[in-house]
Amino acid sequence: MLKRLWAYIRSWFRQTAEGAMDPEIEIQSAIDEAKRRDQDLRNQAAKVIAHKTQLESQIERSASDVGEAREMAKQALIKSDDAKKAGDQDAATKWTQAAQSLAMKLQASENNLASLKEQYRVAEEQAQTAKEAVQSNAMNLQELSARRMEMLGTLEQAKMQESVNAAVEALSSGVTDEMPSLDQVEQKIEQRKAEAMAKAELREATPEGAEAELRRAVNATEAEAKLDELRAELGL
């Protein structure tokens, strides 16, 4: 029972924490972690390639040692043979021993060179694998960056929609039954219009209204006469 309760509590805390996290922060955190791993991989790959380069230098020096030991051993053998021909046994013995010593050095140098070449072969394979790993991870990082841009765009759209939804809800909550409906407002407007027309009709029925109407008629007659005068001057 306690295990089940503890598992429930852990699940609740995890869901609560995930709900509290800002998606934009989570996306950036994922990108930062991918960049850190990419840099670590590049550093490791650089060490592998550097090891291969060091082996190249060591192989070059070892090959030089082999060539030098071989050439010196040959020279010692020539001198030993010349001493034997000259009947100088001491010199012949000296140069023979020198040739033997150089031959041992030559053998050690050749063994060292062979070992370095084998290490270099393995290092080449490791360097190639490291390069491919870096290239593959770089492509994954680019893909992740592209997905980040897409997700940020989607997140921005979601935020805009949430803002619109909040505005609509605010407008909806602001309209209450206490406020007049559009039908009521329309009725008030029609009522005011009807009252205004009624007042105008009543004014026309009064002496003042009749006088005003008569003045308008006179003015219209005079205006028409003036227009006839102007037409005559223009010859129209």
d(CA 170, CA 10): 37
Instruction: Indicate whether 114 pLDDT > 90.
Output: yes
What's the half-sphere exposure (Cβ side, CA atoms, 13 Å) at 99? 14
- Which residue in this structure is represented by tokens 């309209």? 175
Let me know the angle formed at the C-alpha of 225 by 222 and 228, rounded to the nearest 5 degrees: 155
Model confidence at 95, in pLDDT bands (50, 70, 90)?
Answer: very high
d(CA 119, CA 107): 18
Residue of higher predicted confidence among 23 and 112: 112
Q: What is the pLDDT of residues 179-194, one digit of tens each?
A: 556 677 778 778 887 7
Return the structure tokens found at 153. Answer: 């765009």
Return the structure tokens found at 158. Answer: 């979601």
Q: What is the pLDDT of residues 27-71, one digit of tens each?
A: 777 778 878 887 888 888 888 888 888 999 999 999 998 999 899
Residue of higher predicted confidence among 152 and 17: 152
d(CA 204, CA 213): 8
Model confidence at 174, in pLDDT bands (50, 70, 90)?
Answer: low
d(CA 175, CA 187): 19
d(CA 105, CA 111): 10
Residue of higher predicted confidence among 196 and 210: 196
How many other C-beta atoms lie within 10 A of the C-beta of residue 66?
20
B/e letters for 41-54, b = 16+ CB within 10 Å, e = fewer, are beeebeebbebbee
Predicted pLDDT of residue 29: 79
Residue of higher predicted confidence among 4 and 221: 221
Model confidence at 133, in pLDDT bands (50, 70, 90)?
Answer: confident
Model confidence at 20, in pLDDT bands (50, 70, 90)?
Answer: very low
Which among 60, 34, 52 is positioned nearest to 128, based on CA atoms?
Answer: 52
Look at residue 88 and give its three-state secondary structure. coil
